Structure 1
């Protein structure tokens, strides 16, 4: 596996072969495989993950609209409609599109409708948290509630509570909250650091939230343009090594790695590699198999937008760890 000729694979479905098949059908304009897959998904973790991936693919198509037209009573189609609407609003905001406000309103309405029709589902609430990150000035009252603990900022804590009520420690809900914290204060990352450690501290063993602090560390590295320093001690600092070790000990060693987020696994492999914990990193690379994600590896290159460079960094890091 560490030898020459290895080519990593990027696919949003990762190890989820059933999801990969549904994505393939979705890309050809068909919704039946997606509907069947969601009908067979019985846990909220899988439901949240699969609807997120499917929405990212469907956002540039009218497949979900066709599905809703043909099956107007489908709750899954209603939730997917909210998912796609949120994805489109987030993309428009990122691109500075003039229709962002309209798309945000459509997505907010779609999420509220989905929450009413599927009251046990955490995904509509996750969508509302994602939309809160677009309200950087916290104009809406529900986006500036008092935090549940000291050192945390005001925010959409009521929305997070609704998601948590339905699926405690929902991975995406907390990642969306982290995006909100970034958007609220683009300067120092102290609030994001506090948030990530607060979320991880209350998570049970095996929860992906134990990897959340690794994302904040990568964001700090990106903002400080760490790859430009001749001597980079960012990843071997005591707190960086501690974050990587905690994610390994409290998440990776207890989770079903074939069901884990490929992005989380890449962040852990990246953190352990940077901390010079090559043997531990090798275990994560083995769990990844052929799958990789462009981030966080791209931030170790002089041109983070160049996927080829990111892939090269991943391959070199993987080979170094597995060769040991």
Structure 2
């Protein structure tokens, strides 16, 4: 992240990292109607880039403007529906209220696909909040995390900027963890776009206590891949794969490449596989794309957690 503010009007630039859910347990709905979750979040080396600059006063009624570019910019909203825009508006509402607020331009370079369960919009919003908070340090860390939680369950993790964390209560309770050594991994993308509410609806009813939690190893063991591999689980995976058998087929091909672990992240449709070394990943990539056909999966090399 660049230091906030310079003579050119640049407030700062941040890399916004895609995440995967190494573990996602889904429990019963709580009194607010939201499912309780327990998740183990890991940051990957795949990033979007968020840059903030001072804009001319009155650029919009909210003081926010947004431009989107990059290889995956297609279909990404560049107005109030974008989480970066909403994060800036909420921050200004909380910090400035009815007083005159600054005007900022957000430039978003997209490399993380939408609708893949990789938290692309969330990590962009988290980076936006961090840049704004560095420039206008009016909120303490607890207030910032609460603000992030109002926008979305993955945004607090993106905001705090750690490689790995356990999360509960829609992401507002986070326990940063000492990460294991980064490993090579593959992210597997498909054109299937899955809405998160849809995936939860397919999951159906669960009788588990909304406050329930697993008995997990201590932080020292969670920094060891041998322990992490045994914990990988996603309660949304089975219902999503049932509705999209083509994803199930890709996951079977991925697992046939002998990864240390392979699963779906979030509500999908992205899949991931973690390998013990770069050579194993290279062999898997070759095997998965050996046909050279249009049906081969779209693969991206990453490291995680970073």
> Which has a greater percent of strand?
2
Where relative contact order (Cα < 8 A, 6+ residues apart) is larger, the structure is 2
Which TM-score applies when normalising by structure 2? 0.30
Which TM-score applies when normalising by structure 1? 0.29
> Which has a greater percent of helix?
1
